[in-house]
Amino acid sequence: MSTAVEFLNVARHFGPASAPVRAVDGVDLTIAEGSFFAMLGPSGSGKTTCLRLISGFEKPTGGTIRIFGEDVSNTPPHLRNVNTVFQDYALFPHLNVRDNVAYGLMVKGMGRAKRYAKADEMLALVHLDSHGDRKPSQLSGGQRQRVALARALVNEPRVLLLDEPLGALDLKLREAMQDELKALQKRLGLTFVFVTHDQHEALSMADSLAVFSEGRIAQIGSPQDIYNRPATRFVADFVGSSNILPPDLTRALGGPAEWASLRPEATHLAATGPVSGTVTALRYLGAGTRVVIMMGETEVAALVPAGQPVPAEGQTTSITFDQKALHLMGST
Amino acid sequence: MTTSAILPARGLADRLTALFWRHPRVLLALLLTPPLLWLGVVYLGSLAALLLQSFYSIDEFSGVVKEEFTLKTYTELLRPSNFDILVRTVTMAAAVTLACAILAFPIAYFAARYARGHWKAAFYLGVMLPLWSSYLVKVYAWKLILAKEGIIGWAAAQTHTSWIIDSILSIPGFESSSLSTSPIGTFMVFVYIWLPYMILPMQAALERVPNSMLEASADLGATRAQTFRTVVLPLALPGIIAGSIFTFSLTLGDYIIPQIIGNSANFIGMAVYQLQGTAGNIPLAAAFAVVPILIMLIYLALARRMGAFDAL
């Protein structure tokens, strides 16, 4: 499998050279062809800037970006064989759905009959065959999202970039679109690069993901890697709802004196144990109850599955867990 | 807790607010009545009076207005001397509008897409500043600028480029001794005076085109020229039309600039001014005044048919 996108020590700084804002700083990244790659991070972490560096809307201030081996440093967006699904969809309001989808073919000089045929084909792929004559303003959010997808895919891009494409949809539609996007990506065998701040979305859809923090990549790996073996406290904290144990608490709980992450679902309540604490909060989640216990100065959450007894707030309890569930992250 | 659920009213303002809350239409009616009265009675009423006058005629011997409906006054408009005035005015208005649009677009585009902070303030100030000084002062200032001994003529003489002005002034139809007495001068001053009215609506329209729309176009493979033609222009068209309504109708009705600058050829506004004043021919003046209204209606209908307002 070859490499679709490659970042070599890429930087994008804004503002004066004396006090630059380092939106992206020293990023190395390899995205394999045909993979579903997610860029995950809080807002301002540099993930969207990285996506815009691939599409060409931002120019790197340092380093090299290669798309399928070709250096694109001096290639403007319209000559790059990548397409973007924008966060706000950016559909052209004055064109109907068919003309929106056919836009990329039109500017490349394809004849009307041919480009409309291709556009209709693409609209069928996203289940909007009967909506070609409507204006974008007459569509729902989910439908606009599909039009944006069809408009990008009709150009047969080598890489499809998606900038938080599901952010504006409600939960139910979002989950349906997640499945659909994933299926579409598999079927077409295309490289998808997906930006999101939603860790569930990133974990469930991506083959491989990069977690961004302050313009740098904190960790890159498979969803399982990232979830089970976070490299840093930031990753452990951001991806999911892990407990982060300081070295002394880890040691008190039977581990070495290192920072450690412990998943709430791997944590069980016990009447007695090496460390006990007071229950400070209960959150009912349907499939279980999240119990927060104050252990010294650290809040530790445990997930009690539905049907098992839940302690009351203020009660004292301890925890037990399989030592293998404890993921160590060093002593600093 | 013994506090009542409903607080006592504190005065008239409370009772009025409560009244407006129970009957929202009362507030709307109160707000709309004065402007609607103004619009309906003073504005539309006088427009109707104007229309009415244009269907009267004047008795050629006594000079008295005959209050009988006739189309005689309108047929007078088609007399060669009057028809010339119409053609001259409409041509000038169209040329001024086109020039304003071409000059305004880059300025409006810069202001809408690139100017931020101080640059934006400088833009607004630069565009609005000329509107703060008297219209007459500006027109007379231009008369001096364009005069043979004016700064343009002087600069041309110093740089040995007088031949450019001379060759412009020898174009058939524009012959004159100086720019200030040529129709070219009239055109230049019109463009200067009305330019802000084109820039501002254009800038507002361009500002509403989101940046992601331009990026999407480039992303899909469009060159800058293609993006301009297929995305920017259609989306900015309502603003361009709005601006052109200003420049076109203001030029159609103006009677001062062509009087002060140019070869004193008659324009609609000047004709109206003379006919209702010295000549006392109110019906013909009214008929002249109806022409710009008709032209604007036709222009708007055409723009609408071309889809200029689809993006609104």
> Considering just the CA atoms, what is the radius of gyration of chain A in Å?
24
Q: Which residues of A touch B221 (CB under 8 A)?
A: 78-79, 104, 107-108, 155
**Of A232, A253, A252, which is closest to residue A328 (Cα–Cα)?**
A232
Q: Which residues pair with B58 in a beta bridge?
A: B65
- In whole angstroms, what is the distance from residue A303 CA to residue A264 CA? 5
Pick A90's closest partner by Cβ from B212, B234, B307: B212
Nearest CA in chain B to A76: B218
What's the full length of chain A, in residues?
332
Residues 6+ apart with CB under 8 A from A319: A253, A267, A268, A269, A270, A273, A275, A293, A300, A302
CB contact under 8 A, A92 and B231: yes
**What is the model's pLDDT at position A280?**
93
- In whole angstroms, what is the distance from residue B208 CA to residue A122 CA? 30
Q: What is the pLDDT of residues B178-233, one digit of tens each?
A: 888 889 999 999 999 999 999 999 999 899 888 899 999 999 999 999 999 999 98
Strands A208-213 and A260-262: unpaired
Q: What is the pLDDT of residues A189-214, one digit of tens each?
A: 999 999 999 888 899 899 999 999 99
CB contact under 8 A, B221 and A94: no
Interface ipTM: 0.83
- pLDDT of B144 higher than 70: yes
Q: Which residues of B touch A78 (CB under 8 A)?
A: 218-223
CB contact under 8 A, A57 and B215: yes
CB contact under 8 A, A94 and B222: no
| Alpha-carbon separation of residue B53 from B49, B66, B294 (angstroms) | 6, 10, 16
Pick A86's closest partner by Cβ from B216, B231, B307: B216
| Alpha-carbon separation of residue B63 from B66, B136, B290 (angstroms) | 9, 33, 21
Q: Hey, which residues 198-257 in chain B have their CB within 8 Å of chain A?
A: 210, 212-213, 215-223, 226, 230-231, 234-235
- In whole angstroms, what is the distance from residue B171 CA to residue B166 CA? 9
Encode chain A (332 residues) as per-residue pLDDT tens digits. Answer: 689 999 999 999 998 888 888 899 989 999 999 999 999 999 889 999 999 999 999 999 999 999 999 999 889 999 999 999 999 899 999 899 999 999 999 999 999 999 999 999 999 988 898 999 999 999 988 899 999 999 999 999 999 999 988 887 888 888 888 888 899 899 989 999 999 998 888 998 999 999 999 999 999 999 999 988 888 888 988 887 788 899 889 888 888 888 898 888 888 888 888 888 999 999 998 889 999 999 988 889 999 998 888 899 999 999 988 888 888 887 76
**What is the model's pLDDT at position B85?**
92
| Alpha-carbon separation of residue A313 from A13, A266, A302, A318 (angstroms) | 49, 21, 14, 14
- In whole angstroms, what is the distance from residue A28 CA to residue A213 CA? 14
Alpha-carbon dihedral sign for residues A31, A35, A41, A44: positive
Q: What is the pLDDT of residues B213-224, one digit of tens each?
A: 999 999 999 999
- pLDDT of B100 higher than 80: yes
- In whole angstroms, what is the distance from residue A35 CA to residue A159 CA? 10
In the sheet that holds A70-71, the strands lie side by side as A21-32, A3-14, A62-67, A70-71
**What is the model's pLDDT at position B1?**
56
Split at pLDDT 50, 70, 90, the class of B71 is confident
For A279, the 3-state DSSP assignment is: strand
CB contact under 8 A, B219 and A83: yes
Q: Is the pTM of this model over 0.80?
A: no
CB contact under 8 A, B219 and A77: yes
CB contact under 8 A, A90 and B226: no
- The helix or strand, by DSSP H or E, that contains position A162, with its residue range, turns out to be strand A159-163
A49 touches chain B (CB under 8 A): no
- In whole angstroms, what is the distance from residue A235 CA to residue A260 CA? 12
Q: How many CB atoms lie within 10 A of CB B61?
A: 6
Q: How many CB atoms lie within 10 A of CB B174?
A: 16
Q: Which residues of B touch A152 (CB under 8 A)?
A: 219-220
3-state secondary structure chain B: CCCCCCCCCCCHHHHHHHHHHHCHHHHHHHHHHHHHHHHHHHHHHHHHHHHHHHCCEECCCCCCEECCCCCHHHHHHCCHHHHHHHHHHHHHHHHHHHHHHHHHHHHHHHHHHCCCCHHHHHHHHHHHHHHHCCHHHHHHHHHHHHCCCCHHHHHHHHCCCHHHHHHHHCCCCCCCCCHHHCHHHHHHHHHHHHHHHHHHHHHHHHHCCCHHHHHHHHHCCCCHHHHHHHHHHHHHHHHHHHHHHHHHHHHHHCCCHHHHCCCCCCCHHHHHHHHHCCCCCHHHHHHHHHHHHHHHHHHHHHHHHCCCCCCC
Q: Which residues of B touch A165 (CB under 8 A)?
A: none
For A93, the 3-state DSSP assignment is: coil
For A95, the 3-state DSSP assignment is: coil
CB contact under 8 A, B217 and A107: yes
Q: What is the pLDDT of residues B263-282, one digit of tens each?
A: 888 899 898 888 887 778 88
Quick check: B258 and B267 in contact, CB under 8 A? yes
Measure in Å the smallest separation between the Cα of A269 and chain B Cα atoms: 43
User: Any idea which residue has 């890429």 for tokens?
Assistant: A10
Axis-axis angle for helices B282-305, B80-113 (nearest 10):
40
Q: Which residues of A touch B233 (CB under 8 A)?
A: none
Quick check: A294 and A282 in contact, CB under 8 A? no
Q: Produce one character per residue of A173-188: b if its CB has 16 or more CB atoms within 10 Å, e if not.
A: ebeebbebbbebbeee
- In whole angstroms, what is the distance from residue B223 CA to residue B158 CA? 43
Which residue out of A82, A86, A134, A163 would a mutagenesis test of the B interface target, given it has the greatest number of B Cβ atoms within 10 Å?
A86
Q: Which residues of B touch A82 (CB under 8 A)?
A: 219
Split at pLDDT 50, 70, 90, the class of B258 is very high
- State the amino acid at position B30 in one-letter form: L
**Of A57, A138, A92, A112, which is closest to residue B231 (Cα–Cα)?**
A92
Measure in Å the smallest separation between the Cα of B234 and chain A Cα atoms: 7
pLDDT top residue among A166 and B103:
B103
- In whole angstroms, what is the distance from residue A282 CA to residue A301 CA? 9
Measure in Å the smallest separation between the Cα of B233 and chain A Cα atoms: 11
Quick check: A326 and A257 in contact, CB under 8 A? no
CB pairs under 8 A between A and B: 67
Pick A92's closest partner by Cβ from B213, B218, B219: B213
Measure in Å the smallest separation between the Cα of A115 and chain B Cα atoms: 14
- In whole angstroms, what is the distance from residue A11 CA to residue A46 CA? 10
